[in-house]
Chains A and B, each alone.
Chain A
């Protein structure tokens, strides 16, 4: 509404076209535009060119940096893979060594156990033999003690006066015959 009011307020006869300006406005406008563009080309062109070059260089630098980072990452990746490989090898080696040690320990333990079992068997056999021997010795000692006591009593009861005289006479005869033992 306002635009219509403004256009209505203008003198319609001053402009041949509602769309195109006057011819001289076009000329001067075109020249001015060319001048402005030339000025821009002349003054701003190098700046823009330098900015573009700097941007290109910056992008190139970033690309180079990215490439370096990529290379570094790949190297790190390779190193990590190498390290992983080394760790796996070390793990395998440690596991193999542990297996070997465990096997050796088992063999050693088994051998020691067998020796200990043999020792225990031998000791048990010796203990049994000792107990049997001791029992046998004690029994023998008991028999000897009882036999001795019995012998004393039997001899004391059986040696009468006649036997005493015979023993005395035997001794005298034996000594008289020169037997001194």
Chain B
């Protein structure tokens, strides 16, 4: 089985479990956040992909980390992926699962990176604005990323709308 097929298989499994539990929206949002945390945190990534640490121990780390901060379904799903030795593919599995969830709701995932947390009102207006700009219903996923310094960058499919200070600063540096 190829890696893509395996990722698809795991993503579909997560999607079906979350859908069956009736917590798809919540679970996919929590998984998405966990995937971004996993990508941003070298220590967490190295720990969960360390073959010297037994899988049960790695599962215990995940459960300790997410316990009380995410739904039991989310914790179990992440623990299952880690326990099966697929920690390295975790972000891709989750992203594929989020895509499946969005497709099931006939919406498109819009990943937004912001230097600060957005209010509910800002999320709603941003969702509406992105839907208006792209002509598609969007499932908004906001990632707080201090690296952007200020402003937002939204990725909807292949379209990137960049209004970050980081990008302007980079352009300024290029001109310099």
CB-CB under 8 A for A174 and B176, given A155-B169, A168-B151: no
Contact B129 A172 (CB under 8 A): yes
CB-CB under 8 A for A171 and B151, given A144-B176, A161-B116: yes
Contact B151 A180 (CB under 8 A): no
Chain B residues touching A, range:
20 to 34
Determine if B133 is an interface residue (Cβ-Cβ < 8 Å): yes
Determine if B69 is an interface residue (Cβ-Cβ < 8 Å): no
Determine if B152 is an interface residue (Cβ-Cβ < 8 Å): yes
In the complex, what residues of A have CB within 8 A of residue B130's CB? 175
In the complex, what residues of A have CB within 8 A of residue B129's CB? 172-173, 175-176
Nearest-neighbor residue (CB-CB) of A149 within chain B: B173
**Interface centre among B151, B154, B161, B172, by most A CB within 10 Å?**
B151
B44 to chain A, nearest CB (A): 25
Provide a sorted-by-A list of 27 A–B residue pairs whose CB atoms are within 8 angstroms.
A144-B173, A147-B173, A147-B176, A148-B169, A148-B172, A148-B173, A151-B173, A159-B149, A164-B116, A164-B150, A167-B150, A167-B165, A168-B152, A169-B122, A170-B163, A171-B151, A171-B163, A172-B152, A173-B129, A174-B163, A175-B126, A175-B130, A175-B154, A175-B161, A176-B128, A176-B129, A176-B132
In the complex, what residues of B have CB within 8 A of residue A87's CB? none
A interface residues, Cβ below 8 angstroms from B: 143-144, 147-148, 151-152, 155-156, 159, 161, 163-165, 167-176, 178, 180-181
A165 to B128, CA, bound (A): 18
CB-CB under 8 A for A148 and B176, given A156-B149, A163-B150, A178-B133: yes
The 8 Å CB contact of A167, one of B125, B128, B151, B172, is: B151
Determine if B65 is an interface residue (Cβ-Cβ < 8 Å): no
A45 to chain B, nearest CB (A): 142
B81 to chain A, nearest CB (A): 33
Determine if B118 is an interface residue (Cβ-Cβ < 8 Å): yes
Nearest-neighbor residue (CB-CB) of B125 within chain A: A172
In the complex, what residues of B have CB within 8 A of residue A147's CB? 173, 176
B88 to chain A, nearest CB (A): 32
B143 to chain A, nearest CB (A): 14
Contact B126 A180 (CB under 8 A): no
Nearest-neighbor residue (CB-CB) of B163 within chain A: A171
Nearest-neighbor residue (CB-CB) of B162 within chain A: A181
Determine if B159 is an interface residue (Cβ-Cβ < 8 Å): yes
In the complex, what residues of B have CB within 8 A of residue A169's CB? 122
**Interface centre among A151, A174, A180, by most B CB within 10 Å?**
A180
In the complex, what residues of B have CB within 8 A of residue A164's CB? 115-116, 150
CB-CB under 8 A for A155 and B165, given A161-B116, A164-B150, A171-B152: yes
Nearest-neighbor residue (CB-CB) of B121 within chain A: A172
